[in-house]
Amino acid sequence: MNEKNNNAVTQNPPLGGGLGGVSGGAMTRAVRLYGKKDLRLEEFELPAITADEILAKVVCDSLCMSSYKAATQGPDHKRIPNDVDENPIIIGHEFAGEIIEVGENWQHKFKPGMKYSIQPAIYYEDGPVGVLSAPGYSYQYIGGDATYVIIPKDVLVQDCLLAYEGPGYYPASLAEPLSCVIGAMHANYHTTPGSYIHKMEIVDGGKIAILAGVGPMGLAAINYVIKRDDRKPSLCVVTDIDQTRLDRAAEIYPVELAKSKGIELVYLNTKGLENPVKTMRDMTGDYGYDDVFVFAPVAPVIEQGDALLAFDGCLNFFAGPSDPKLQAKMNFYNVHYAYTHIVGTSGGNTDDMKESLEIMAKGLDPAGLVTHIGGLNAVADATLHLPKIPGGKKLIYTHIEMPLTPIADFAELGRNKQVFAKLAELVAANKGLWSVEAEAYLMANADKIS
């Protein structure tokens, strides 16, 4: 359903009481949305949990452009309740933490001390209308930018509270963006000549182009393409017009690593090319690309992707546009005679999240996506200015107070503050990337949120 539905999204049980002997409410600090560009860091009491709810600690949350869109659109956003001015919601939906207390109806499945991640896309049917409510958009007591939250029944019955058994917490926080990439790869499809059967997934051994592909989500796609075991392309070309970002991507995910997995990985700056499409098609012997992923909501990039498609090629428009009237040209001659087609994905499902958490637990480290670290105090300003902040993912630790800080600045800041000096040492030992060791040190030694 496309229509907005604000029924069944207000998580507002009465204060105190609770069911089944569950204890009273806990204090939390959270960044709440009251309206367009109106974000406030506040402290308040959570109600006592019911038998169908769980009290949880949030450890970290990764800021997402989707939160920027929600914060700037306010109640005009499809997932934001109309009465947000009176019943503010907690923002943030890429978060991880630890379960504190479990309502009696869920004690068979969840235990205190378990680490968790959340699948926020909990779309479900409510009679004839689809409910678009989601943590980080629609609820008063659950969102990633908080110290403690109440996980509601909506999340539990949809099987969207997921256990995480890997090291640290930030990989689980980044499982949601990785699941979006996983979902996109799974959503691509190809046809079977002479039948109407669609074969889902990228072509195994085929050719992939990832356009505008060295932003945070593009990096996640490169990581997944290289690390997955069940299906690999023979050629993966990643483009952008920023050489610095391309160089950084190549440093994090080297072409030698991809080669060891049987993949020819090419980083290509298309800015100075007279004919980028010809250059890229020549790399395939003019065969084209079986799977093209567009990571920027820009018409010329979309049209470039269409021109790169091979016979039966699938273009995945991954980037979420803010312009509801965005249009681009498509070659319909090729649609008819070359069987080219297009899909769009805007998030992963629960199975994608489970796959993401599983490969994280097996060692896929998403640290290459993270470029900034901050505390809960940095969330409101960073969210509202997210498009103007360069770099990749901005990772927030909700129990500390710290300005949003580029990891690249740790060494310089360490001249005056020991915490940054030690963090610089830890990330230097990990090729300049965030790490589980750096996370543990930060949580133990940074200033606590006041």
> Which of these, 359, 441, 336, 374, lies nearest to 171 by C-alpha position?
359
Q: How many Cα neighbours within 13 Å face the side chain of 346?
A: 8
Structure confidence at residue 8 (pLDDT): 38
State in words which class domain 27-166 has.
alpha beta
> Which of these, 20, 90, 28, lies nearest to 49 by C-alpha position?
20
Structure confidence at residue 324 (pLDDT): 84
Cβ atoms of 387 and 71 closer than 8 Å? no
Structure confidence at residue 388 (pLDDT): 94
Q: What is the DSSP string of 427-448?
A: HHTTTT---HHHHHHHHHHSPB
The tokens for 243 are: 């050489």
Three-state SS sequence of 303-354: HHHHHHEEEEEEEEECCCCCCCCCCCCCCHHHHHHCCCEEEECCCCCHHHHH
The tokens for 77 are: 């956003």
Structure confidence at residue 22 (pLDDT): 42
How many residues in the chain? 450
Residues 184-344, CATH architecture = 3-Layer(aba) Sandwich (3.40)
pTM (2 d.p.)? 0.83
Cα dihedral 317, 225, 204, 273, rounded to 10, equals 60
Q: State the helix-helix crossing angle for 175-187 and 216-227, rounded to 10 degrees.
A: 70
Beta pairing class for 235-240 and 264-269: parallel
Domain ranges of the chain: 27-166, 184-344, 363-445
For residues 159 and 148, give the distance between their C-alpha atoms in angstroms, rounded to a whole number.
Answer: 20
Per-residue model confidence as pLDDT tens for the chain (450 residues): 334 545 434 454 333 333 333 455 799 999 999 999 999 999 999 999 999 999 999 999 999 988 999 999 999 998 999 999 999 999 999 999 999 999 999 999 999 999 999 988 876 555 444 457 899 999 999 999 999 999 999 999 999 999 999 999 999 999 988 999 999 999 999 998 888 999 999 999 999 999 999 988 899 999 999 998 889 999 999 999 999 999 989 998 999 999 999 999 999 999 989 999 999 999 999 999 999 999 999 999 999 999 999 999 999 999 888 788 999 999 999 999 999 999 998 778 889 999 999 988 888 889 988 999 999 999 999 999 999 998 889 999 999 999 999 999 999 999 999 999 999 999 999 989 999 999 999 999 999 997
Structure confidence at residue 124 (pLDDT): 57
For residues 406 and 400, give the distance between their C-alpha atoms in angstroms, rounded to a whole number.
Answer: 16
Q: Both ends of the chain: CA-CA distance in Å?
A: 42
DSSP label at residue 36: T
